[in-house]
Structure 1
Amino acid sequence: MPLLETNIKKEIETPIAYSEIAGEETPFQLIVKRFMKHRLAFVGSLFMIFIILVAIFAPAITPKNPYQVYEEFSAPPSAEHWLGTDQVGRDIFTRLVYASRVSMLVGLGAVLIYSVIGTILGAISGYFGGWVDILLMRLTDVFMSFPGLMLILVVVSILGPSLLNIIWILGLLGWPSVARLVRGSVLSLKHVDFVKSGVVLGLSTPRILFQHILPNAIAPILVQATFGIAASIIVEASLSFLGMGVQPPTASWGNMLTDAQSLTVLTSQPWLWVPPGIMIVLVVLAINFIGDGLRDAMDPKALK
């Protein structure tokens, strides 16, 4: 009897002790802790917070108007114009600050649109399978078979270049990669015990999908969305550089680089193209570092 009581006591106390130990750090706390240890991701996060604050409080950072024309044309940096003026006579620093709004709007807006579309289609495809899965995946293959930038250029030329059109075009054409990613996650999760229990209990399909399966597949979606923001910013800059993106006089890092098409500007007036070029490089690097940090921090094997 004493031995039996001892064994029962151990069986009862062991789960409690384990839960207490596991309760010291929740999965969210572990993710945050691991992300903070990723130095480049942490620095990238601080830099992106700074850029977002600059975009929000642009009028407070620089009192100048980004559309105002001064008498000095292509003037080098000075005390009055910190980064000089462009060929029209507009202050480059002011336009650089306001251009951050365009990049953030394009990156966040496009990714939000195609993440929602891709998540819904991928979840439906993976959960139902059969002809629904075949139809949606073949549609995905069709979209992915076209050269991305060429397709975007064709659509932009038809609809016309503008900030709103760029956001919608990137959002409506970028969902296939997210859909395939979500489909794979749903396929691996729909046979897990808690999903089967929900089916047995008679829970509705939308509830099982959006309240039980997708929350457990959120990690790869977040990582994909992070890298997608960087890709969207690069595409917008490329389109604006080619004259098919955000149109002047609206400031964009891409259309600020348009002046660099001249050999004279490249060699003798670097203040016209170096600042926007540096901003694009730094923002894309920071976002990619954040994506790397999220991928490492949200790795299921590392959280066990």
Structure 2
Amino acid sequence: MAEICLALAASHTPGLTGWFDKAPEPERRVVTEAYDAVHDAVVASGADVLLVVGNDHVANARVSDYADFTFGLAAEHRGPDEWFKPWLRVEDYVLPGDPGVAARLFEAVRDTGPGVRAEPGDLRFDDNLSVPTAMARLVETGVRVVPVLQNCTVPPVPDERACYAFGEALGEAIRALPDGLRVGLLGSGGLSHEPGGPRYLDIDEKFDRWWLDLLQEGDHERILTEATFDRMEQAGSGGTAELLSWVVVMGAIGPRPCTSLGYVAVEQWRCGVGAVQWHLD
């Protein structure tokens, strides 16, 4: 029986790499310390594999044929994608993959919904994988990465309960992996933002702090009842629902509290930025 040894979530706004210096120094320090904590947690956990669950920004499929969840099966994951380089300003990276683990997890959960797929070739990564890779220095950790890209934008979007149920199935599949394997989870996305919309410059700090407070209490049923997809959309259409990646992680580990690693609302980054680590006994 494998073990889920780590559960984290963090924002991946491109402002963190593309225009980091535009934020005031105290806010930059909070975010740097939060992502340093993510790096240290990955190392301390002894994770062999890290599943990074993050939204796909319609970069890997047509809108008319869009998967809900896509497992990356490649032996290496390279980024950032060429189109996004001027925007992200992230150095090229290569992360080791784990095709065997990725394939076994995909086979275990593929029947949980019609939109679960696997991609044996290269995926196009923007801020979903590139920002946590850069900010948390994942290459230095040597951890093998399995990306799971999810649909948070193209209707019909799997809502909070569908994502939680997928997470539950994913957690069972992880625990069924070979004995001794240590697996970490990182939800990549959020917090409140509305990319390209009328509230592009707005951050719903009240929502963000409410969400983080709910997570720290650890009552998952309350979160699923109150922090719905529609409520996320109210806090920022087309962006805030990236928090569904956090919901997948929650489903995989079950109800438990977490610790906030920090939060800032920086207008220059166009997004509320925060990170959490769940308590795993």
Q: Which category of TM-score, normalised to the shorter sequence, fits these structures? A: under 0.3
> Which structure has the larger Rg over C-alpha atoms?
1
> Taking CA–CA contacts closer than 8 Å with sequence separation of 6 or more, which of the two structures ends up with the larger relative contact order?
2
TM-score by length of 1: 0.21
Higher strand share: 2
TM-score by length of 2: 0.22
